[in-house]
């Protein structure tokens, strides 16, 4: 998974998946992307970075089910009572965690949960019922997509065992564009 340079084949596949042929009118442009990065102290991983700069900044068609939100947006059901997001702080996980089955008391788990939802990631959108897809922008899992919900968090990609999809933004979109279920590994 390449996160530093956009692969032209990945960009072509992303354009095709979203059916975007508006000459970049729905994209943010490089000036806006760089301004977002400077404001938040991050450099977005490729190919997402080029995607929002040159192809489109969000899509009502998905993925996920309720659409891909724009770079600086959050899904409508995110809630107003959440802590302030800090994308510059490292995403804290490197492996799946089902906190609903964690044997520790909730008082020990609770302080760890907010950083999982709010540090080191861009929220890509929701499948509803509190199930959010995040692109990790800082930390060891930079460039990976994670599904984070009320019960736990898990990375997307065949190497993690729950899907046959390739890791990263292009793999996640490609899996969706092929009409495959998110969790299709046997």
Q: What is the pLDDT of residues 130-163, one digit of tens each?
A: 899 999 999 999 999 999 998 999 999 999 999 9
- What ranges do the domains of the chain cover? 8-177
Beta carbons of 142 and 3 less than 8 angstroms apart: yes
Q: What whole-number distance in Å separates Cα of residue 127 and Cα of residue 132? A: 6
CA triplet 68, 69, 75: central angle to 5 degrees? 110
Q: What is the pLDDT of residue 79?
A: 83
Is residue 155 helix, strand or coil? Answer: strand
Question: Does position 24 have pLDDT exceeding 80, yes or no?
Answer: no
User: Residue 26: which pLDDT band, with cuts at 50, 70 and 90?
Assistant: confident
Nearest Cα to Cα of residue 160 among 179, 147, 177: 147
């Amino acid at each position: 998974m390449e996160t530093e340079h956009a692969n032209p084949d990945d960009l072509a596949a992303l354009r095709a998946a979203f059916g975007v042929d508006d000459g970049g009118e729905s994209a943010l442009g490089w000036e806006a992307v760089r301004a977002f990065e400077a404001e938040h102290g991050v450099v977005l991983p490729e190919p997402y970075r080029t995607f929002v700069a040159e192809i489109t900044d969000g899509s009502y068609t998905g993925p996920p089910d309720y659409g891909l939100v724009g770079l600086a947006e959050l899904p409508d059901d995110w809630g107003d009572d959440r802590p302030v997001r800090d994308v510059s702080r490292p995403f804290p996980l490197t492996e799946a965690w089902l906190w609903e089955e964690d044997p520790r008391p909730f008082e020990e788990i609770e302080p760890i949960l907010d950083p999982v939802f709010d540090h080191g990631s861009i929220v890509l959108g929701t499948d509803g019922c509190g199930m959010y897809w995040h692109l990790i922008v800082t930390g060891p899992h930079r460039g990976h997509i994670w599904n984070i919900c009320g019960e736990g968090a898990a990375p997307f990609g065949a190497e993690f065992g729950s899907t046959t999809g390739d890791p990263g933004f292009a793999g996640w979109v490609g899996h969706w564009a092929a009409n495959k279920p998110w969790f299709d590994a046997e």
